[in-house]
Structure formats: C-alpha cells, structure tokens
Structure 1
Amino acid sequence: MTDRHDSGADRRKVLGGIALGAVAAASSRPAFAQAQTPPAAGMQARPASAEPAATKPAGRTGETLTRLGLGTYLTFDLLPGANRDRLREVTRIHVEAGARVVDTSPLYGTGEASVGQFLSAMGATDQMFVANKIWSTGDFLADESHAMRSFEQSQLRLWRQRFDLIQVHSLVNVDVVVPMLQAWKKEGRTRFVGVTHHDNDYHEVLASWVARGAVDFVQVNYSIANRGAEQRVLRAALDRGVGVFINMPLDKGRLHKLVGDRPLPDFAREFGAENWAQFFLKFAMSHPAVTTVLCGTSDPAHAAENVGALRGPLPDEAMRSRMVRHMEGIPGFDTIGRAPWYPDKQALYQGVIRRSQAGMRQRLS
C-alpha cells in the first residue's frame, strides 16, 4: 500500500483575477534528459541494457520529465530527531530507479529539510527537477515579504539557489502570487510557474489559469476512481501546452484499501503492471495530458513497487476503459471518495503537522 500528498483543508474558491500573459524566460539549464543523467554518488548504476525510465515532454516548456515523481506530503514529515532511515531509503530507491522529479512544500512540515539533506548526501541535488510551492498572503495586498521569506527558507532547507518550478499552493492568494512568480521567473529564482489543488471543487479555477496562458505547469488530483480532472483541467492543459503533475493517484491509500488482497486481473500483464500500485499509477500516467504522476510513501517496499511503473508499456485508451470497468465491478468503488484518507495509516504520520493539529484539537476540547 502506498500514500500520497497535499493539504487536506478545503479553501475558498478564488474569484476573478487579472488577465496575465506568460512571461517568456530562457533557461540556462539544459533540457532534462534522464537517460544522460549519471547515478547518484555511492549508487550502483543500472546495466546499460536496462530499460530507461519512462519520460515525457512537459508541454511547451521544453522539459522532458520522468513520468513518476516523489511526493512528500505527510510521508516525509517527522519530528526533529526522529530516525529518517526509511525516508532516506525511499529517496534512494527513486533516484536509483531513474525518477528525477520531487515535489515538496514549506507546508509539509520537515519534508523540505529531509529532501534537501538526502539529495545533497547522495550527490543528486542537481539531477532532480525540484518542484516547490508558495502558500502566502502578506501584511497588505501585493506584499511580497512573506513569500520571499518562505522562498529563502526553502533555499536553505533544499540547498538550492533557484527552483525548477514554484507553484501557488492550493491557489492561495493566486491573483497576487502568480504575477509575483512570473517576476521571480524573469529574475531567475524559478524556471517555471505553476498552480495546484487537490479538490475537484477547484478544477474550474485551475483550468481558467491554464487557459489564460499564465502558467507553465498545473498540478491536479486525478486517479482511476476520480477522473473529474479530464473534464476541464487536463483538456485545457493539452490545448495550451501546459505541463501536468498529478497528485492523489492512489486516492490517499483508499484504492489499496478497496482492492485489499484481490489478485490483479490477468490483463494487467499486457501493460507490465506487477502490483496494484503500478496498475493505478500507469492508469494516471497514460492520460495524454499527464506529464508526471507524483506518489509518496514512507515505506521502502512500497517505493520499490511504485518505481516499477517507470518501466514497460502504458495502457492505451481501450485498455484504460477496461481497467475502469474492472474497478467498477469491485463493491465500494463508486463511493471511495467518501471514505477517510489514509485508512489504517494515520498513526504512521506523526510529524510536526500532526503534532500541531493535535495540539489545536486539545485546546479546543
């Protein structure tokens, strides 16, 4: 079983917005090409005959990214001083398998610090496409100071002078932050600008930012059980040449809870799925608009399952329909969205986020 990321609190929809054009900025970093990336220091290189990790061009950006990336919400948040060996191993497995995308945020507790330390120790920092986020308002309208402090803190934690992508986290203060990020892109703090959300209620807002050409990437929730993003967001991304990151491809652990010990259908071998994680991840990867599917876990065994989705064929449209029909035959599939997140796993994630949430509940009791 595996887990995924992003903030669980609902946010008010952002209304209106200013019309923005994309700010063109030439990048000094060469286009991403996983096949030419050497293994991280201390890691055994894959044999030359091994199948390379699957990649895909990210819309009009000129980047080519691996189709699987590492997500870090909750799974990488530990209390200071806690043993991080399992998270270090999860990171190593992804890097060694050829995954070259990691997504994090200042909101993810100690996640940024762990990602930065692990990648630096592995000699892999410069090999990774690092996607970070800004969740910021300010002391007054259009105040940049809070966002700049967050950015500078992220630089220290992740040990990066600039980021490949900075995203407006959950559309917070999006009308102010997108223009600010476009300025940061022009000034060299980030190479690309994006917007994110994890809730279907915000798909229209995401799609509107994609359609106006103001962003290079959009991050949206999408899975075999929740295909709502197909209606507007993914279609708009294809039309505008915007890169797409997917969150919640395993529906916060609920898909694995649903299938339990059921065996994979025999047809899964036709697209190389060896376990349910690869079945679900390859479904999300195979949508024509999707660039990279983000999946997080704190379990090295689950990480090893996940990275297997980087190899082998992806399902075509007919196979995708067959996959959906199979899942629809499993009782509870149509109501999975009403089930609690991370079933049977809440006790695993006891970092600074959960500590603060528990403290607030106690104060209010």
Structure 2
Amino acid sequence: MEHRALGKSGIQVSEIGFGAWAIGGDAWGPVEDSASLSAMERALDLGVTFIDTADVYGNGHSETLVAQIIKGRRDQIVVASKGGLMGHHRDPQQEPVYDRPEKIIAAFEASLRRLGTEYIDVYFDHIWWNAPRETEAFLTAFAQLKQEGRVRAVGVSTDDFAYVQQFNQGGTLDVVQLDYSLLNRKAEQDILPYCLEHGIGVVVRGPLSKGMLTGKFSPETRFPEGDVRHNWPQEAWYQTQLDQMEQLRVLSSANRSLGQLALQFVLNHPAVSVAIPGGKTPEQVEQNVQASIRPLLTEQDLRQIEIVTPGART
C-alpha cells in the first residue's frame, strides 16, 4: 500500500481508504454488520489506514461500527467524520440548523461518543446548503476544536468551488472531500487545481461512481428498495454510462479490473491524497486495495480514457 500526505495537514494516509457510508445500512441495500466489520478488518490487514464516516450514515450506525474496529489501535488509524446534515431541513425559509458554533460542537461530541474516541483526525462540514451564518459558525467551531486538540485537520465535503473558497478565506482549510471519477471529471476545472496550489488535501468520494465503474451493471440490473441507485435503470443517462463502461473495458485485463482502473485514474491526479471506495465485504476491499500498484496508468491508457470520458486535465 502506498501512502501520501494529506495536503499540508502533516497527516499521512494510505492512498486507498475505506468509505463507510454503505455499512450504515440505510442507503445501499442490505448489509450485515458482521460482514461490514470483516470488510474493515480486512482493509486494515491490507494496509488501509484511513476510514471515512459521517453522523448521517445509518443515523450514526456507521460510526458505531467504526468504533469497534479502531478500539485498541486508535493511533494506527486516521479517522474522518462529517457533521452538518443530521436533521438538516434544507428549507431556505427557515433558520439554519447549524447557525451557532455550539451546535456544531455538540454534533461533533456526539460523533466522538459513537466513535468511542477522544479526538477525530479529520472533521468535515458536510455541506448541502447555502447559508453564510453556517459557514461562519463552522469556521469558528473548527478553530476551537483544533485549538483544543480534538481535531487534527478540518475540511469541507462539497463539490461547490465557491464553498471551498469561502472555507479557505483565512488559509486554514486542510482538506476537501469531493466527488471525482472517470464519469465525473468536473473537479479538474477548478477545485483540484485550487487544492494543489494551496496545499489542501483531497479525499475522493465516489471514485467508482456508486459501483458503475466496476463494470458489473447491465440494462437488466435492478436495485432494491432503499438503495440510492434504485431508479438508475429508468434514467436516460444510465445506458450512456453503460456504453462508456464497455469502451473502457478494453483497458482492463487479468491483472487489472475495470474498478481498479477507475481507482488508478483518480490516484493519478497530483492533487489527490486518498480515494475512499466503499466495501461491504472483504472481497470488495481486496479488489479496491489492489489498485495501489505502480505504475498507475500509461500514456496509452490516458489517451483512451480521454476519448471515452474527456475531462479538463492540463
């Protein structure tokens, strides 16, 4: 497993991490806690040192599962969590939910209790709103939590460049978490270059585009109720992306699956610190971790990718 610096934070992380949204059990179809724990255990065995969760994943259930894994080896694992969406009404006609630092600190402390730890390595504002008062409240809370030593680094989880700039207005933003993949290269236009310029670490969520980039879906695939992908087969873009998968499949081989190609693609960007694919089983984790090999991609690979899914890289 290769390791990278998380921007200017001083934290080192495995370049493949573990995304713990799916193990919350409320958004990705059926999942057994025993399998989730085995998946995380296997990830650590294979050199993964970065686990990303949030208070909204399974209404806190993901954090409680992560707590079981980090117990007794807390100093060996970089734990990231997020706050800002729990119970958020997102109604512009109502008062913001997280409009005061003390509310944010209360949410942070609730995450601490679920995680069974005295500190969180990376704490993100989980943005899905547009309220200046919340931005200021988070910045104030972040400063306090860092001063108290209860967080090592702070960041925002967003795909909005304006939010990133707002949170870095004092140059204190350590990390950005964003959606970036072979099928979504928008971040190459602004956020990734900005982070590279300012020494901001980048955590990539969605590197497998919710499983699409594993190449295992087809027009006949059906997703269960409660799965965030339930309506995908009825969407117009679904077949387009399936076609793109077939065009990219020529770059896979016995030694590199399509999913591993997708992970290597995001790791190939110089701004990226760590990719956090999800994993509900040890077998999925093993597939993900095997993407951490060198060389990542050849010039021929990149030329073919540019034909199929053109982006904004320079």
Q: TM-score range by the shorter chain?
A: 0.7 to 0.9
Deviation sequence 1:262-316 (CA, Å, 0-9, x none): 59756556xx952111110110111010000111121322111111112332125
Partner of 1:361: none
State yes or no: 1:216 paired with 2:183: no
* Pairing partner for 1:163 from 117, 120, 134: 120
- Number of equivalent positions: 268
State yes or no: 1:192 paired with 2:153: yes
Deviation sequence 1:34-59 (CA, Å, 0-9, x none): xxxxxxxxxxxxxxxxxxx1111222
CA distance in 2, matches of 1:115, 1:66: 17
Shift of 1:114: 0.7
Residue 112 to residue 225, structure 1, CA distance change in 2 (3 Å):
same
Residue 275 to residue 141, structure 1, CA distance change in 2 (3 Å):
closer
Partner of 1:38: none
Q: Quick one: which amino acid aligns to residue 224 of structure 1?
A: L
Partner of 2:82: 133
Deviation sequence 1:24-77 (CA, Å, 0-9, x none): xxxxxxxxxxxxxxxxxxxxxxxxxxxxx1111222222221111111113333
Deviation sequence 1:306-362 (CA, Å, 0-9, x none): 11112332125664333332x45xxxx99xxxxxxxxxxxxxxxxxxxxxxxxxxxx
Partner of 1:350: none
* Pairing partner for 2:19 from 71, 83, 92: 71
CA distance in 2, matches of 1:116, 1:289: 30
Please list every run of at least 4 consecutive aligned residues from structure 1 whose deviation after the TM superposition is greater than 4 angstroms: 136-142, 259-269
Question: What is the TM-score normalised by the length of structure 1?
Answer: 0.66
* Pairing partner for 1:247 from 205, 218, 234: 205
Query: After the TM superposition, which residues 1-365 of structure 1 pair with which residues of structure 2 at under 5 Å, given as runs?
Result: 53-77=1-25, 83-109=32-58, 110-120=61-71, 123-135=72-84, 142-170=99-127, 173-197=134-158, 199=159, 202-210=160-168, 212-255=170-213, 256=215, 257=217, 258=242, 265=249, 267-268=251-252, 274-315=256-297, 319-325=301-307, 327-328=308-309
CA distance in 1, matches of 2:183, 2:245: 18
Q: Quick one: which amino acid aligns to residue 192 of structure 1?
A: A
CA distance in 1, matches of 2:105, 2:169: 27
Shift of 1:101: 0.3
CA distance in 1, matches of 2:261, 2:63: 29
CA distance in 2, matches of 1:140, 1:251: 30
CA distance in 2, matches of 1:88, 1:260: 34
Unaligned runs of 5+ in 1: 1-52, 335-365
CA distance in 2, matches of 1:170, 1:212: 19
Shift of 1:140: 8.4
Check the 8 A contact 1:166/1:194 in 2, yes or no: yes
CA distance in 2, matches of 1:290, 1:243: 7
Question: What is the TM-score normalised by the length of structure 2?
Answer: 0.76
CA-based RMSD: 3.0
Partner of 2:237: none
SS in 1 for 2:22: coil
